[in-house]
Amino acid sequence: MSSGQIRQVRASHILIKHEGSRRKASWKDPEGVRIRSTSRESAAAQLKSLQEQIISGAARFEDVAVRFSDCSSAKRGGDLGPFKRGQMQRAFEEVAFALNVGEISDIIDTDSGVHVILRTA
């Protein structure tokens, strides 16, 4: 089945917000102090380092999400649950649907910030 025919996927993600994010607050940073002072480049560098730890086996995706993700899904290890096309921002959705189960994405930019996605189903 090609990625164009898949009806829904399940994925987890790690989101790092930055000064360009549309909402400059998170459950970890309710006043947005850290987010407003974080450049996109700095957020991406932090996320790249976290991604490398996960891929190398030094850290588990879920544990990294709980500690570092700016999304409220962090409390669930980054799990977004199942979703269909049209429910997420387009760039995020395109990557999530293109991944194989168990595969981790490169860094994705959306209006929310920078993400890495793990497709779980």
CA distance 28 to 71: 9
Ranges of beta strands (E only) in 1-121 are: 8-16, 79-84, 108-110, 113-119
Alpha carbons 112 and 119: distance in angstroms, whole number: 19
Q: Which residue has the tokens 């790092």?
A: 16
Residue 55 CA to residue 57 CA, distance in Å, equals 5
Active site residues per annotation = 13, 71, 89, 112, 115
Q: Measured between alpha carbons, how far is residue 69 from residues 7, 35, 88, 98, 114 in Å?
A: 27, 12, 17, 22, 10
